[in-house]
Amino acid sequence: MSEKEKSKPEVKTIRPPLERINIRCRVCFIVDGYYPDEKKCRHCGARLFEIDRY
Ligand SMILES: [Zn+2]
């Protein structure tokens, strides 16, 4: 392996650990911690809104 190849950047992307935020559901009013990519209430399945963060 040549030096040029060694210095190539890794192809796979390393995602930083996601931070959970507390969001209160507009339907069942249960506050729970959700990751940013979670868009549904885990209690009633209703849509979550990030502006409802508790
Ligand atoms: Zn809910």
DSSP bridge partners of 22: 33
Distance 16 CA to ligand 1 centre (A): 27
- Distance between CA 37 and CA 18 in Å, rounded? 9
> Model confidence over 34-49: pLDDT tens digits?
998 899 999 999 999 9
Q: Could you tell me how far CA 10 lies from the centroid of its own chain? A: 23
Q: Which carries the bigger pLDDT value, residue 46 or residue 3?
A: 46
What is the model's pLDDT at position 17?
A: 76
Residue 30's pLDDT band (boundaries 50, 70, 90)?
A: very high
Sketch the domain layout of the chain as residue ranges. Answer: 12-54
**What pTM did the predictor assign?**
0.64
Distance 11 CA to ligand 1 centre (A): 39
DSSP bridge partners of 40: 47
Averaged pLDDT score across all residues of the chain: 86
- Distance between CA 37 and CA 33 in Å, rounded? 12
Distance 30 CA to ligand 1 centre (A): 6
Strand segments, DSSP code E, in the chain are 21-24, 31-34
Distance 20 CA to ligand 1 centre (A): 17
